[in-house]
Every structure is written in C-alpha cells, then in structure tokens.
Amino acid sequence: MLIVVGRATLLSRYQLAEVQHEIERRQSFWLAEGELECLWTQVRSVQAGESLPSACQQIAHQVRWASPRDRQLTATVGTTTLHKRYRLPLPDSAGVVKTSSRLMLMKHAAFAPDLARLSTENGWECIALRYKYDVYAPSLTTYHPDQLPYRLYQGFPSDSGRCAESYHSVDLSAKSARSDYQYSPTLSPFRDLFGVAVQDWFQVMSNPQVGRIPASLNEASGQIRYQNALELPHSQLNPECASQIEDLIWQGKMIIWVYGGCVLSDLDIQRINVAIQAQFSQQGIIVLIQDGLVGIESHHPLQGMLYQFISPQHANMVFQGWADTGLQAALIKSLAQAPQYNISPEQVSYFQLGSFYPAGGLVLDADKRFAVVQGRIDFHYRRDLMSKPLSLIRPAEWRGESWHEP
C-alpha cells in the first residue's frame, strides 16, 4: 500500500513539474512574441532604423539582414527563440535602371549595382539594368561594391563586396553584357515599384501622401478633385514643372506626381537638390512624370528617383512637343547617330543631354517608346534614398511565414 502511494506521489510531482514547465514555456513564448510585436511596431514607424527604444530592449533580441531586401527580427526568452522576416520598403526586384522603353545609351555608362542575392558562384548577383524589350549601349561597366567610395546601403557587410563573375560586365556592349544587364520580358515597372497593378495607377496618384502637379488637380484641401482616371483633363507639357516640384518639396512632399510633360535644366536639378537636402537631409524623393515627354539637360545627379510613366490609357501617345523644349536640335542630332534608323522625335518619350542620373534609380515606363541618353553616365546608385519615400505608400511588410520556434 505504501509503495502504491509513494508511486502516486512521485507521479503527481512529475505531472506538476510538467505542467509548470509548460506554463513557463508558454509564458516565454508570449513574452518573445510580444517583443517581436514591439520591434515590428518600431520598424513600421521608423522603417528599420538602427536605434530601438527602451520599450523593446527588455528581452534579448536581434535585428539582422537576412538578404539584401529582407531583415529578420529575433527574440529569445529562456529556451524559446522566435524569429520573423520582413521585406524592406523597396521595389520587388533588384535593378538600378528598369525600362519598358527601348533604351539607347549613346556613350559609355558605368553603374554602381543593386544587389539581388548571393550567387552560388562566390559573389553577389549584381543588377545594373532590367529591360523589357531591347537596349543599345556601346560600352557598359558595373562596379564591384568594394570599388565604390560608399556602402551600397546601410548595414552592407564591408567584407563582402564583389560581384559574381557572371554578374559583372566591364566595358562590354549591351549585346555582350553579362547577367548584370537582364532581359526581363515580363517586367512591369509600376507593379515592381508600387506593389499594385499598372491598371490601378490612379489609386497611387490619389494617395494623400502624394503631391500632385499641376495644382489644378487638387481641391483647396489638397485632396485630388477627380474620382477616377477617366475624369482627368488632357495632359500637357508643363513649363513650370521644375519650380512646382521645388515648391512641393519645401511643403514636405517626398513623392511628387507630375501630370503632363516636364523638362528639367541643370539649374532646375540643382535647385531641387538644395530643397531636398534642406528638407530631408540624407533621404531622397520620387518624381513621377505621367503621360508626357521628359527632357533633361544636366550634369548633376538628382537626390532621388525619376520615373517616367505612360499610362495604359495613353499607350499610343506620340510626343510632338520637342520643338517647344529647346532640346529638339540635340535630339535630332542624337537620332542621326543611333544604330536604329528612321526613328522620329515623335517616337522618343525621354531624352537626356548630359551626365545626369537619379541616384535613387531610373524607371522608364513608356512601353516600346524610345529613351535616348546622350552623355557619358557614371551612375552612383544609393538605394537608401528610397526607403523613406517608398515606405509612405508601400511600408515594410511581413514575408508571410508563421512564427517560427527552432
């Protein structure tokens, strides 16, 4: 009888210990889960800043890079470790220039790359350009990351700065370039950047975070005055676009949507940069120019991204306004040197004269139209310029896995 009672007592103690252990395990899980939620709240508010508030520093945690476009949050309580991966506010795919236009780079072009992932070859998959149709260039070069005077992005490992051999072109023509210049026949530049189908572009244009030009698009409250894309007036070349872009920057807008064509001079680019540096310091802006020609005559880089967008409703647009820009003579001269003959100015949606580049990336989304760059380009891409403006309409997001407990 005593033996039976003793065994029952031992069993009861064992069961109590198991129950206590399960309670502690669940408490550890909940504490770790709460820490991850706290960290995630901070990520959403400051977009992955390196400093974390004291409220999220009571439990052992780690924020580390999982890939060039993902970061991972980890929290540990006792023997419980949870981690969760999130996507940074970046375009879906790597690439400094993305184009559905037919791009012609008339002189040598060199690029600091965007990074896709580590290659199986001992190096990075470095991506300079993605093109949907074709690209012409007599000479293309991609820098190794460790050849640059700056880190490609905050947190980039200083001891890992080489492109894989198959993703590294040096003084090669577009026809001979390696995988750093990628033919991407399914490329949708709008979805890639904004995360929505191109047919839903009005949804992005009407976002309250977006500053719109001209001001006649807006109510006195600043809200867009139109309910849908079909109500918009006919787009026109806007001779005041540069000063209007500058004004919106001073008003604190980091995403600027120009409806109609726009031409920017060297002085315009400099004045826009002064405003950006005064308002946003180390950040950049996104300038999107819709349904009109884009002309650039400058030797200064823009502190931000430039996006030319021809909407699906105007897919057959012809560009008859070059005579009103002061760039027509230079454009005609460039077309005479082009490898493809019989290109008229009306087929050219984008023309650039000079060594200008937008440091946050260039997107040319005028399907099958020609984009002509007449100038030697040394494109020092800095993706960190885009993290804040893009987060305003496409914030960081979980990658979709459930909580993971090793």
Per-residue model confidence (pLDDT) at position 68 = 85
3-state SS track over 202-263 = HHHHCCCCEEEECHHHECCCCCECCCCHHHCCCCCCCCCHHHHHHHHHHCCCCEEEEECCEE
- The encoded tokens of residue 264 equal 């920017």
Band (383; pLDDT cuts 50, 70, 90) = very high
Per-residue model confidence (pLDDT) at position 372 = 98
Band (403; pLDDT cuts 50, 70, 90) = very low
Is the distance from CB of 96 to CB of 129 less than 8 angstroms? Answer: yes
Residue type, 403: W
pLDDT tens profile 162-181: 999 999 999 999 999 999 99
Q: What is the mean pLDDT of the chain?
A: 88
Residue type, 135: V
pLDDT tens profile 28-73: 676 767 777 777 777 666 654 445 555 565 666 677 777 888 877 7
Give the global pTM. 0.88
